[in-house]
Amino acid sequence: MGKALIIGAGGVASVVVHKCCQNSEVFEEICIASRTVSKCDALKEKLQGGKTKITTAQVDADNVDELIALINKEKPDIVINVALPYQDLTIMDACLATKVDYMDTANYEPLDTAKFEYKWQWEYKEKFEKAGITALLGSGFDPGVTGVFSAYALKHEFDEIHYIDILDANAGDHGYPFATNFNPEINIREVTANGSYWENGDWVETEPMEIKRVYDFPEIGEKDMYLLHHEELESLALNITGIKRIRFFMTFSERYLTHLKVLENVGMTSIKPIMFEGKEIVPLQFLKAVLPDPASLGPRTKGKTNIGCIFKGIKDGKEKTYYIYNVCDHEECYKEVGSQAISYTTGVPAMIGAMMVMTGKWKKPGVYNIEEFDPDPFMDALNKFGLPWKECHSPELVD
């Protein structure tokens, strides 16, 4: 079918590469390009020999001209952005200049402001329409599969959805006192920010970790979970018409939160640059350098994740509730692709999103969030490529 240019060679990219190679009918060729080319070469080394042809390249994705030159040289059908959220706009600019489709898993964030908002990327809508190319935003798990679950629930289960609670549980244990499951800088920026949820047309802001609930997750058991702001709330609030409230909860252990509090109190999670021995450093970036690399957690992590959405709404004039979720086992993921479940649950939907665009099922000029497309082919692909979903028609609700 075609060729994808994968930008980034970290935890998520590694799963994307494995999954593209398992789907060589669509991904006949891939080019893995990142800042550190040795990481791309290591991935190629691990996976070459199958049907998918793999090449590698060095690129600084903050530099639009370098990206344009690379895209012109490689001539991909799509660019899969699994670098960091800071690179979203430069990569979108390069796609516009070369008229190549674009896809990512996280919304743009300026380096100096920890704020998730789609406004910067939504501003590209008209330009993408005029160029005749598709940008698919947020094709990971959350955002990503959570949006597909919402579109599926609206299409098949409800006439109107009034309430959505997105629940993200990780019962994995890596044996370290403190480590983050994906890029520590991005993860810590997310969990130290104020929480918020959408209710009756407005944002309600909370202190970080102010709202706590306990939920008994299928296949995992009872966990403490906390309300966070999360980027899909913004697009779902617009795209699921009639919605009254959307909240996002993530589980954290006491131990994780205690470490985080201490790091915050001593200033290690700050993104404001400071001078250290004559050199400017960002405390959070320094912290990232001393924490375990998320990619190294794979072989040590045991347990499962459970991520899903609970819906409440109306069908045929009657109130109903519905829960769709996926349970993923860290050790099984490691056995299959050499990564833990956090990278796996992001990398699989990234490959599927790219496949939807490349096969023309989701090709539409403009900039779109995932719930704006037909969920059915994506839901089928989740079952096929390692993230089977389950449903429950009488779930425990979150108060």
Q: What is the largest CA-CA distance in the chain?
A: 68
C-alpha to C-alpha distance for 369 and 117, rounded to whole angstroms = 13
Nearer to ligand NDP, 91 or 220 (CB): 91
Find the shortest distance in angstroms from Cβ 287 to ligand NDP: 14
Find the shortest distance in angstroms from Cβ 114 to ligand NDP: 12
Nearer to ligand NDP, 23 or 170 (CB): 170
Nearer to ligand NDP, 124 or 158 (CB): 124
**Chain residues that interact with ligand NDP, rule: CB under 6 A:** 8-13, 34-36, 39, 59-62, 82-85, 87, 105-106, 140-144, 182-183, 186, 294, 346
C-alpha to C-alpha distance for 80 and 215, rounded to whole angstroms = 35
Find the shortest distance in angstroms from Cβ 325 to ligand NDP: 14
Distance of CA 387 to the CA centre of its chain: 14
C-alpha to C-alpha distance for 80 and 97, rounded to whole angstroms = 16
User: Interhelix angle for 11-22 vs 330-337, to 10°?
Assistant: 60
Nearer to ligand NDP, 3 or 39 (CB): 39
**Residue 202 DSSP SS3:** strand
Contacts of 367 (CB under 8 A, 6+ apart): 121, 122, 124, 125, 128, 135, 137
C-alpha to C-alpha distance for 34 and 82, rounded to whole angstroms = 10
Find the shortest distance in angstroms from Cβ 171 to ligand NDP: 17
Contacts of 139 (CB under 8 A, 6+ apart): 103, 104, 105, 349, 350, 352, 353, 354, 370
Q: Which residue's C-beta sits nearest to ligand NDP?
A: 10
Find the shortest distance in angstroms from Cβ 111 to ligand NDP: 11
Nearer to ligand NDP, 78 or 313 (CB): 78
Nearer to ligand NDP, 141 or 197 (CB): 141
Find the shortest distance in angstroms from Cβ 138 to ligand NDP: 6
